Structure 1
Amino acid sequence: MNAYPAPPLSSRRRFLAQSLIGGVGLGLGLSRRLYAQDVLAGRRKLGVALIGLGGYSTGQLGPALRETRFCELRGVVTGDPHGKGRRWARDYGFPESSIYDYDTMHRIADNPDIDIVYSVTPPGLHERDVLAGAASGKHVICEKPMATSVAECDRMIAACEEAGVRLSMGYRLHFHPYHQRVKALAAEAAWGGPIAMQGGFGYRMGTGYDWRVNKALAGGGQLPNTGIYVIQSALMAKGGEMPMAVTASEPPKTRPEYFSEVEETINWTFEWADGSKLEGTSSGVEGSNHFAATAANQALRLQPAFSYDRLRMELDGETLASMDGFNQQAHQMDAFAAAILTDGEDIVPAAMGRRDMVLIDAIYRASASGQAVAL
């Protein structure tokens, strides 16, 4: 994907189409070439099935699949197939035979209309979903965080490799032009020295039931839910280079009865060998949504930095043109479809999801021990 602000959608589609045409001719069989040409010509799209119809599927992924160029919604997996499932089938125009529940989702293997399954359930269920998708011979997208442990990530990656299917992460922000600009600064060695970074993402959670405070389902508190975005931004700025050490701490809880299983707020520091540093925070009681990075030659600030839309970016004191209406999820899913069709690179692969779980685990260990954790 282009590291600079994306061109208008029509130009973007021409660019993706040209990229696909170029890639399709390189070593792929005739059937694959014809298949890709059918997608490019609009005669068909790759079929996606969403596993889990909660708020993110309803508010973001479903609507994004109405905008995608190369894929469309062709099925769902839900705990309420007769109610919610039928409403989705009616609203999105796929047959009721493509509605599954969690006990029958293995039957997706027999559905030729579905090419990709997208796990949008809580992290503690991602391994189940990914293994089911791999066993069905379908490519898989896994929402963040990838899992609740690195060991789960390893099993998910191994299952998809053994099945010969692709496993991608639902890392939408990598496709936004502002965050691509952060990555470009690293690729161009434009920082001019160590980078001082600060980032935070959090919000005040309610008082009702939320799986995000259930450790078995969430794997932790807001660190894997919102803090993971801060982690990703820092790694973008560093060109993917891992920090060498992590320190972390949790302030006293103000709502211990609600956050009884997971952290309420956590602060952490990443340090790199060249002197770069990130001061990060995530919280379930305090609002924040920013990322800033300053070095000898460059200074930037994103605020809001991690929202679904209406992000704002300042680069060296200049406010960049707004990108309001840019659908991160549509771009994310189209890019994965393009990678499948061309045997091309996935810029948000499962290895990146595993990397972030390594870092989340290190933050928790550093907080629990009060000692720096080396990486």
Structure 2
Amino acid sequence: MNNRRIFLQKAGLSAMALSVPAFTPLSAMTNFSTNNQDTRTLRVAIMGLGSYGTRVAEAIQDCKRTKLVGVISGTPSKITAWQSKYNIPAKNCYNYENFDAIKDNPEIDAVYVITPNGLHKSQSIRVAQAGKHVICEKPMAVNALEAQEMVDACDKAGVKLLIGYRMHFEPNTLEIVRMRKAGELGTPLFFQGLSGFIIGDPTQWRLDKELAGGGAMMDIGIYSINGARYMLGEEPVWVTAQETKNNPEKFKEGVDETIQFQLGFPSGAVASCLSTYSMNNLDRFFLNGNKGFAELLPATGYGPIKGKTHKGPLDKPHTTHQTVQMDEMAAIIFDGKTPELPVDGREGLKDMKVIDAIFQAVRTGQKVKLDLV
């Protein structure tokens, strides 16, 4: 516990006084000529060198338009290991106190923030103020207020804010979205999202309210929230929710173990979802329309994603999700590409508003109205 608190304190420190030249606009750091579309490489520094940061780093090795060029970590030994493994120069390595100096590093275009949820807001804002694009892992913050601050800060700095919604680029997922838009399922009526697993180490940051902002809902339940929105193609207008906590010793106050929640949509469609840290084999999306259905099982794992519809199996080829995500984000940043499903900060903000409402519904036992439009 003490180590986590020390980490939080260090990560939130203001940068040490640095002698730096005047702010250089992002446009001056990067060549934005349309003549170079589809050729520029997105040069990324990863902040947070844990298990998921490692997964992203490995995936980037197969990217066509993204390159890992820098690291930001509070652990010197990790920095040294990554330098050696990925051939990262010392001048592109930073810690949590001094990374504001990336402002003067023209070799870094963007920073991918992959740290505990409770640190996302402060770190993302500092990256934006340094003039670099921000890619932030989901959930983007611990509540909607923080998420809005991140959006505003990136808008003010004139940089992109993208959220790590890797499923928004997954081929079988996009095929279901295509079918729904084309009317092949008829009128969408019902979505079910099951998201859960049995979490291990009770001392990990994901079970620390200060660092995680919650429990299972923040980590895994967000997939069902987001999935309900893009599968049904609408924004929910109300939510109800119920919490079950069987192990209060492991899941302390403010750290949810299991939450069932229901969403209502303007068309009359409904969603019924489960988020849990206490049950395995829960990774399923099911979409039902009056003319057909679609199912993903598994729906959000690292792949391959498998599924079927009333027309037969879904068999789109699998490519490592993070590889596809990072190259697509390069196209969004450099080419102005509009993805089929949004991955910007405002998309992340909508999910945070739903999570806030779910927690409110759990506390009050009441149906909570939503306004995401």
TM-score normalized with structure 1 length: 0.86
SS in 2 for 1:145: coil
Match of 1:45 in 2: 41
Match of 2:363 in 1: 368
SS in 2 for 1:32: coil
Say yes or no: does 1:156 pair with 2:167.
Answer: no
Take 1:31 and 1:301, find their aligned partners in 2: how far apart are those partners? 43
Take 1:164 and 1:111, find their aligned partners in 2: how far apart are those partners? 17
Following superposition, the deviation at residue 35 of structure 1 comes to: 7.3
Take 2:365 and 2:172, find their aligned partners in 1: how far apart are those partners? 35
More displaced stretch, 302-311 vs 203-212 = 203-212
Distance 1:296 1:51, change over 3 A: same
Distance 1:345 1:170, change over 3 A: same
Take 1:91 and 1:203, find their aligned partners in 2: how far apart are those partners? 32
Match of 1:313 in 2: 307
Match of 2:335 in 1: 342
Distance 1:317 1:184, change over 3 A: closer
| Percent identity between the two aligned chains | 37
Say yes or no: does 1:203 pair with 2:224.
Answer: no
Say yes or no: does 1:323 pair with 2:317.
Answer: yes
Q: Is the 8 A contact 1:48 1:118 kept in 2?
A: yes
Q: Is the 8 A contact 2:202 2:250 kept in 1?
A: no
Query: Out of 337, 349, 355, which is 1:354 matched to?
Result: 349
Match of 1:173 in 2: 167
Following superposition, the deviation at residue 336 of structure 1 comes to: 1.2
| TM-superposition CA deviations, 1:144-165 (whole Å, max 9, x none) | 0010111111111111111110
User: What is the letter of the counterpart of residue 281 of structure 1?
Assistant: L
Following superposition, the deviation at residue 322 of structure 1 comes to: 5.4
Q: Is the 8 A contact 1:86 1:99 kept in 2?
A: no
SS in 2 for 1:266: strand
Following superposition, the deviation at residue 243 of structure 1 comes to: 1.4
Q: Is the 8 A contact 1:51 1:129 kept in 2?
A: no
- Number of corresponding residues: 337
Match of 1:277 in 2: 270
Q: Please report the RMSD computed on the Cα atoms of aligned residues, expressed in angstroms.
A: 1.7
User: What is the letter of the counterpart of residue 32 of structure 1?
Assistant: F
Taking the TM superposition and a 5 Å limit, the aligned residue runs for 1:1-375 are 31-33=31-33, 36=36, 40=39, 45-58=41-54, 60-81=55-76, 83-239=77-233, 241-251=234-244, 253-261=245-253, 262-287=255-280, 288-316=282-310, 318-321=312-315, 323-324=317-318, 326-345=319-338, 347-375=342-370
Q: Is the 8 A contact 1:196 1:294 kept in 2?
A: yes
Take 1:269 and 1:77, find their aligned partners in 2: how far apart are those partners? 39
TM-score normalized with structure 2 length: 0.87
Contiguous gaps of at least 5 residues in structure 1: 1-29
Take 1:108 and 1:224, find their aligned partners in 2: how far apart are those partners? 29
